[in-house]
Chain A
Amino acid sequence: EDKVVQSPLSLVVHEGDTVTLNCSYEVTNFRSLLWYKQEKKAPTFLFMLTSSGIEKKSGRLSSILDKKELSSILNITATQTGDSAIYLCAVEAGQAGTALIFGKGTTLSVSS
Protein backbone atom coordinates (compact mmCIF):
# COMPACT_ATOMS: atom_id res chain seq x y z
CA GLU A 1 0.00 0.00 0.00
CA ASP A 2 1.31 3.43 -0.94
CA LYS A 3 2.15 5.55 2.08
CA VAL A 4 3.26 9.13 2.74
CA VAL A 5 4.27 10.00 6.30
CA GLN A 6 4.87 13.52 7.58
CA SER A 7 6.56 14.51 10.79
CA PRO A 8 6.08 16.13 13.14
CA LEU A 9 2.27 16.21 13.02
CA SER A 10 2.26 19.55 14.82
CA LEU A 11 4.80 22.15 15.80
CA VAL A 12 4.73 25.39 17.77
CA VAL A 13 7.57 27.89 17.29
CA HIS A 14 8.32 31.54 17.98
CA GLU A 15 8.58 34.15 15.28
CA GLY A 16 12.08 34.18 13.86
CA ASP A 17 12.74 30.49 14.44
CA THR A 18 13.78 28.15 11.63
CA VAL A 19 11.73 24.99 11.15
CA THR A 20 12.24 21.77 9.21
CA LEU A 21 9.29 19.65 8.17
CA ASN A 22 9.79 16.06 7.06
CA CYS A 23 8.08 13.86 4.50
CA SER A 24 8.90 10.22 3.81
CA TYR A 25 7.23 7.90 1.33
CA GLU A 26 6.86 4.28 0.35
CA VAL A 27 5.07 4.15 -2.98
CA THR A 28 5.04 2.37 -6.33
CA ASN A 29 6.03 4.23 -9.48
CA PHE A 30 7.27 7.43 -7.83
CA ARG A 31 7.18 10.41 -10.20
CA SER A 32 7.36 13.57 -8.10
CA LEU A 33 6.88 15.01 -4.64
CA LEU A 34 4.88 18.18 -4.02
CA TRP A 35 4.51 20.51 -1.05
CA TYR A 36 1.36 22.52 -0.35
CA LYS A 37 0.39 25.12 2.24
CA GLN A 38 -3.18 25.10 3.56
CA GLU A 39 -4.48 28.01 5.55
CA LYS A 40 -8.21 28.31 6.02
CA LYS A 41 -9.39 26.80 2.78
CA ALA A 42 -7.83 25.29 -0.34
CA PRO A 43 -4.23 24.03 -0.39
CA THR A 44 -1.89 26.25 -2.38
CA PHE A 45 1.11 24.92 -4.26
CA LEU A 46 4.64 25.53 -2.97
CA PHE A 47 7.10 23.21 -4.72
CA MET A 48 7.37 20.20 -7.01
CA LEU A 49 10.49 18.05 -6.73
CA THR A 50 11.45 15.38 -9.21
CA SER A 51 15.24 15.12 -8.96
CA SER A 52 17.33 14.21 -5.94
CA GLY A 53 19.60 16.82 -4.39
CA ILE A 54 18.32 19.86 -6.27
CA GLU A 55 17.03 22.49 -3.88
CA LYS A 56 13.95 24.50 -4.77
CA LYS A 57 13.73 27.89 -3.11
CA SER A 58 11.09 30.59 -2.80
CA GLY A 59 11.84 33.41 -0.40
CA ARG A 60 12.24 31.97 3.08
CA LEU A 61 11.02 28.53 2.02
CA SER A 62 13.17 25.82 0.51
CA SER A 63 12.82 22.13 -0.15
CA ILE A 64 14.95 19.22 -1.28
CA LEU A 65 14.30 15.62 -2.29
CA ASP A 66 16.42 12.59 -1.37
CA LYS A 67 15.35 9.66 -3.54
CA LYS A 68 17.83 7.32 -1.89
CA GLU A 69 16.27 7.98 1.52
CA LEU A 70 12.75 8.27 0.04
CA SER A 71 12.21 11.56 1.77
CA SER A 72 12.01 15.31 1.47
CA ILE A 73 12.34 18.24 3.82
CA LEU A 74 10.72 21.67 3.76
CA ASN A 75 12.65 24.42 5.52
CA ILE A 76 11.21 27.73 6.62
CA THR A 77 13.67 30.31 7.91
CA ALA A 78 12.87 33.42 9.98
CA THR A 79 9.28 32.24 10.51
CA GLN A 80 6.44 34.75 10.65
CA THR A 81 2.92 34.45 12.04
CA GLY A 82 1.69 34.29 8.46
CA ASP A 83 3.50 30.97 8.07
CA SER A 84 1.00 29.38 10.47
CA ALA A 85 -0.78 26.74 8.40
CA ILE A 86 -1.02 23.05 7.62
CA TYR A 87 1.82 21.95 5.35
CA LEU A 88 0.91 19.01 3.14
CA CYS A 89 3.27 16.68 1.33
CA ALA A 90 1.98 14.75 -1.68
CA VAL A 91 3.64 12.12 -3.84
CA GLU A 92 2.68 11.44 -7.42
CA ALA A 93 2.68 7.66 -7.66
CA GLY A 94 0.38 4.67 -7.81
CA GLN A 95 -0.14 1.91 -10.33
CA ALA A 96 -0.75 4.34 -13.17
CA GLY A 97 1.71 6.84 -11.69
CA THR A 98 -0.90 9.55 -11.74
CA ALA A 99 -2.45 9.68 -8.27
CA LEU A 100 -1.42 12.38 -5.80
CA ILE A 101 -1.14 10.64 -2.44
CA PHE A 102 -1.11 13.00 0.53
CA GLY A 103 0.37 12.71 3.97
CA LYS A 104 -1.61 13.77 7.03
CA GLY A 105 0.06 17.15 7.15
CA THR A 106 2.10 19.12 9.66
CA THR A 107 0.28 21.87 11.55
CA LEU A 108 2.67 24.74 12.16
CA SER A 109 1.81 27.47 14.65
CA VAL A 110 4.05 30.52 14.83
CA SER A 111 3.59 32.74 17.87
CA SER A 112 4.63 36.37 18.06
Chain B
Amino acid sequence: NAGVTQTPKFQVLKTGQSMTLQCAQDMNHEYMSWYRQDPGMGLRLIHYSVGAGITDQGEVPNGYNVSRSTTEDFPLRLLSAAPSQTSVYFCASRRTARNTEAFFGQGTRLTVV
Protein backbone atom coordinates (compact mmCIF):
# COMPACT_ATOMS: atom_id res chain seq x y z
CA ASN B 1 0.00 0.00 0.00
CA ALA B 2 1.97 3.02 -1.30
CA GLY B 3 -0.02 5.92 0.25
CA VAL B 4 1.53 9.23 -0.79
CA THR B 5 4.61 9.01 -2.98
CA GLN B 6 6.92 11.94 -3.62
CA THR B 7 9.77 12.11 -6.09
CA PRO B 8 12.59 12.95 -6.07
CA LYS B 9 13.78 12.54 -2.48
CA PHE B 10 16.70 14.94 -2.96
CA GLN B 11 17.41 17.62 -5.56
CA VAL B 12 20.01 20.31 -6.07
CA LEU B 13 19.14 23.15 -8.44
CA LYS B 14 20.98 26.19 -9.68
CA THR B 15 19.35 29.58 -9.24
CA GLY B 16 16.99 30.25 -12.12
CA GLN B 17 16.38 26.60 -13.03
CA SER B 18 12.88 25.19 -13.06
CA MET B 19 11.71 21.80 -11.91
CA THR B 20 8.65 19.81 -10.92
CA LEU B 21 8.22 17.93 -7.67
CA GLN B 22 5.95 14.95 -8.18
CA CYS B 23 3.27 13.75 -5.77
CA ALA B 24 0.95 10.82 -6.27
CA GLN B 25 -1.55 9.16 -3.93
CA ASP B 26 -3.37 5.86 -4.40
CA MET B 27 -6.05 6.31 -1.74
CA ASN B 28 -8.60 8.14 -3.93
CA HIS B 29 -8.33 11.17 -1.68
CA GLU B 30 -10.11 14.36 -2.74
CA TYR B 31 -7.84 16.83 -1.01
CA MET B 32 -4.13 17.29 -1.70
CA SER B 33 -1.70 19.94 -0.55
CA TRP B 34 1.93 21.02 -0.60
CA TYR B 35 3.87 22.30 2.41
CA ARG B 36 7.38 23.51 2.91
CA GLN B 37 9.22 23.00 6.18
CA ASP B 38 12.05 25.26 7.23
CA PRO B 39 13.95 25.06 10.55
CA GLY B 40 11.92 26.61 13.36
CA MET B 41 9.01 27.45 11.03
CA GLY B 42 6.76 24.42 11.19
CA LEU B 43 4.89 23.45 8.03
CA ARG B 44 3.68 26.27 5.79
CA LEU B 45 1.00 25.69 3.19
CA ILE B 46 1.98 26.50 -0.41
CA HIS B 47 -0.99 25.35 -2.52
CA TYR B 48 -3.87 22.97 -2.10
CA SER B 49 -6.56 21.26 -4.15
CA VAL B 50 -10.03 20.12 -3.08
CA GLY B 51 -10.50 17.98 -6.18
CA ALA B 52 -9.42 17.43 -9.76
CA GLY B 53 -9.39 20.72 -11.68
CA ILE B 54 -9.56 22.89 -8.53
CA THR B 55 -6.54 24.51 -6.90
CA ASP B 56 -6.00 27.41 -4.53
CA GLN B 57 -3.19 29.30 -2.86
CA GLY B 58 -1.99 28.77 0.66
CA GLU B 59 0.15 30.94 2.89
CA VAL B 60 3.35 31.01 0.76
CA PRO B 61 2.40 30.49 -2.94
CA ASN B 62 4.84 32.89 -4.64
CA GLY B 63 7.27 31.17 -6.99
CA TYR B 64 5.24 27.96 -7.21
CA ASN B 65 2.58 26.63 -9.56
CA VAL B 66 0.32 23.60 -9.23
CA SER B 67 -2.26 21.78 -11.30
CA ARG B 68 -4.59 18.87 -10.57
CA SER B 69 -5.60 17.12 -13.76
CA THR B 70 -6.29 13.79 -12.04
CA THR B 71 -7.37 12.76 -8.55
CA GLU B 72 -4.09 10.90 -8.03
CA ASP B 73 -1.46 13.47 -9.02
CA PHE B 74 -0.61 16.92 -7.70
CA PRO B 75 2.73 18.18 -9.06
CA LEU B 76 4.43 21.30 -7.70
CA ARG B 77 6.38 23.41 -10.18
CA LEU B 78 9.15 25.80 -9.28
CA LEU B 79 9.23 28.35 -12.06
CA SER B 80 12.64 29.95 -11.48
CA ALA B 81 14.38 28.54 -8.42
CA ALA B 82 15.78 30.91 -5.81
CA PRO B 83 17.97 30.17 -2.76
CA SER B 84 14.99 31.15 -0.56
CA GLN B 85 13.22 28.05 -1.88
CA THR B 86 15.78 25.77 -0.27
CA SER B 87 13.58 23.69 2.01
CA VAL B 88 12.01 20.31 2.65
CA TYR B 89 8.77 19.92 0.72
CA PHE B 90 5.95 17.65 1.85
CA CYS B 91 2.93 16.58 -0.12
CA ALA B 92 -0.13 15.54 1.88
CA SER B 93 -3.52 14.10 1.02
CA ARG B 94 -6.82 13.85 2.90
CA ARG B 95 -9.86 11.72 2.15
CA THR B 96 -12.09 14.79 2.09
CA ALA B 97 -11.53 18.50 2.61
CA ARG B 98 -12.97 18.55 6.14
CA ASN B 99 -12.47 16.75 9.43
CA THR B 100 -10.07 14.19 8.10
CA GLU B 101 -6.43 13.52 8.90
CA ALA B 102 -3.65 14.29 6.45
CA PHE B 103 -1.29 11.58 5.18
CA PHE B 104 2.18 12.82 4.26
CA GLY B 105 4.71 11.75 1.69
CA GLN B 106 8.31 11.19 2.74
CA GLY B 107 9.43 14.64 1.63
CA THR B 108 11.76 16.16 -0.95
CA ARG B 109 14.86 17.95 0.26
CA LEU B 110 15.58 20.73 -2.23
CA THR B 111 18.72 22.84 -2.24
CA VAL B 112 19.02 25.85 -4.53
CA VAL B 113 22.57 27.12 -5.02
Contact = CB atoms under 8 A, between A and B. Distances in A.
A11 to B, nearest CB: 15
B20 to A, nearest CB: 20
Contacts of A90: 43, 102
Of the four ranges (under 10, 10 to 19, 20 to 34, 35 or more), the interface on chain B belongs to 20 to 34
Given A102-B43, A102-B44, A48 B104 contact: no
B71 interface: no
A19 B106 CA distance: 28
B42 A98 contact: no
Interface residues of A, number: 26
A105 B42 contact: yes
Contacts of A41: 106-107
Contacts of A102: 35, 42-45
Interface in B1-59: 31, 33, 35, 40-45, 48, 50, 56, 58-59
A106 B78 CA distance: 30
A27 interface: no
B82 interface: no
B97 A98 contact: yes
A31 B106 contact: no
Residue of B31, B44, B99 with most chain A CB atoms under a 10 A cut-off: B99
Contact of A98 (B40, B50, B90): B50
Report, nearest first, the 3 A-B pairs whose CB atoms are least far apart.
A42-B104, A104-B42, A102-B43
